[in-house]
Chain A
C-alpha cells in the first residue's frame, strides 16, 4: 500500500542534479571541517565491513589445470611475459597513456574494421527482475522487455531490492554482469586484458545455435590483508573469484562477456539463453578511445 514510507523511499529516485544541488545548499560537500572519525569505532566498522567483503568473496573454487587450446578459433589467448608492457590510453597521466605490465592474460580477436552493433536481453536469470526505476539510482531495476549493451545485476541485490532476491545473493557484489563489445575496437593490435585475476580451467567451444565461439574460464585473485592507515581502515585477506564466458562472432564482429560469482553453470546458462539482435549501427575503431579493454578492471 502506498504510504509515507513508500514516498520517503521514492525520494531515493530523485535525480542526481537535484541531490547535488540540495547537498550544496546544506554545505555537506564543503571540504573544510572534514570529519576525522574516532579510531576505535572506525576500526570496528571497517573490520565488520571487511568480513562482509570476505563473505562475498568465498565461493566455490575450481582447481583444474589451465589448458589453452589452439586452432581455428575466433578468440586467441596467450599469457604474456610479466615484463611485457601495454600502453593504455589514460587521460590522467602526463604522457596520455599508462604503461601496464604483469597482465595475466591477453585475448585477441580477428582484425575486423567494422563491427555490427548488437544488443541483448537475458532470456534467463537466476532471479526475478524488478521493474525499472528512473535516473541513475544504484538499485535501478530492469524490465523484461529492455534491451541492453550492458547489464549489471550487482546493484539489484541490496537495499530497496533486497527482498526480491534469494538470501544467498544479498552479500554478493556482482552476481551477474553481461556486456557487449566490438572487435573493431581492437583493430590495430589491441586486446582484452586480464589485469589481476589468474585464469584457470580455460575451455573453448563452438555453439552452433547462436553461431558463436565461446571461451570460458575461472578467474581468481588473492588480496592480501591490508591496512589503510590514513583512514584507520582494515581489510581482511580474501579471494575474489569469477567465472567468465566470452561469446565471439567473428563474422559480425561482436563479443559478449558474461561473468559473475554464481558459478560456471549459472554463467553458462545465462549465456546460452541470451537473445541477441543488431541495432543497425556499425562501429569502427574511431568510436573508441582505447584499443585495450580490461576484463577485470572496468576501464578501457
Chain B
C-alpha cells in the first residue's frame, strides 16, 4: 500500500492504518530504535510508542515523507527512553561511540556565550551534507542519525571497515571545518 493510502486510513480513523504501517515500516522503525537502545525489548516498546504517536498525531499532522517522519518520531522516542534509563551512566552503546566521534567536530571549552540555537546547527548540518558525495552523505547520515554500526555500514557500502572509518573521519573533519567557517564553533 502506498503512503498516501496509509495516511488516508489514519485520517478516516481506520485501525488498518496501524497494521499497514507496521507491515511497511515495522522493520525501519525497529532498526532505528534498536541501534539507539541496543535492546530488543526496549526497541519493541519504542516502536509501539511510535504507532500510538502516529495514531494520535495523524490527523492533523500531514507528513510529507512518511518514512522520514516515522524515523524522526522513533529516534526521538528512543533517545528520550535512552536518556531516562542511562542518565547516569555511559559507555558501550553505539550511540556512545557516535557521540564520542561527534565530539571531534565540536572541541571542548566552547564559550558559554556562544550558545547556539538548535535550528542554526541543523541548518548548517543540512548545508554541509549537500557538499558531500551521495554515498558519503548516506554513510554519514546512517552513522550519525541512525547510529548504524561500522560493520553494518561496511557491509552496506561495500567498503572495508577501515575505509568506512576513514570516510567518516574525513567527513567529520570537513564538518568541523565547515562549522568553524560558519562561525558555529
A residues whose Cβ falls under 8 Å from a Cβ of B? 1-31, 33-35, 37-38, 41-42, 44-46, 48-50, 52-53, 56, 90-92, 131-139, 141, 152, 154-155, 158-160, 162, 173-174, 177, 196, 226, 228, 230-231, 233, 235, 294, 297-299
Contact = CB atoms under 8 A, between A and B. Distances in A.
A221 to B, nearest CB: 9
Nearest to B142: A22
B23 interface: yes
Contacts, number: 251
A154 to B, nearest CB: 6
Nearest to A100: B12
A11 B126 contact: no
Interface residues of B, number: 90
Q: Could you tell me the dominant secondary structure of chain B's interface residues?
A: helix
Interface string B6-22: 00101111010011001
Given A17-B65, A141-B119, A8 B49 contact: no
Given A2-B115, A11-B125, A23-B28, 20 more contacts: A4-B105, A7-B121, A8-B95, A11-B122, A13-B121, A14-B122, A18-B126, A19-B65, A21-B141, A22-B145, A22-B146, A26-B31, A28-B28, A41-B41, A134-B119, A136-B68, A138-B72, A152-B60, A297-B59, A299-B59
Interface in B130-167: 134-135, 137-139, 141-142, 144-146, 148, 152, 156-157
Contact of B184 (A2, A41, A134): A2
A136 B66 CA distance: 11
Contacts of A20: 65, 67-68
A36 to B, nearest CB: 8
Contacts of A233: 18, 48, 51
Contacts of A15: 126, 129
B99 to A, nearest CB: 5
Interface in B76-118: 76-77, 79-80, 95, 98-100, 102-103, 105-106, 108, 110, 112, 114-118
B85 to A, nearest CB: 15
A149 to B, nearest CB: 13
A19 to B, nearest CB: 4
B44 A37 contact: yes
B173 interface: no
B52 A33 contact: no
B102 A8 contact: yes
B26 A35 contact: yes
A152 B75 contact: no
A154 B61 contact: yes
Given A8-B98, A18-B141, A45-B48, A1 B115 contact: yes
A126 B32 CA distance: 34
B100 A4 contact: yes
Interface string B43-68: 01101110110011111111111011
Given A22-B146, A160-B76, A298-B58, A46 B121 contact: no
Contacts of A138: 57, 61, 63, 69, 72-73, 76
A158 B80 CA distance: 10
Contacts of A29: 25, 27-28, 67
B76 A159 contact: yes
B106 A22 contact: no
A4 B141 CA distance: 15
Contact of A6 (B80, B108, B121, B148): B121
20 contacts: A3-B106, A4-B105, A6-B106, A8-B98, A10-B118, A10-B121, A12-B145, A20-B67, A21-B138, A25-B135, A25-B157, A26-B142, A28-B146, A29-B28, A48-B49, A49-B52, A90-B8, A91-B4, A133-B118, A155-B57
Q: Among B15, B30, B102, B141, find the residue whose CB has the most chain A CB atoms closer than 10 A.
A: B141
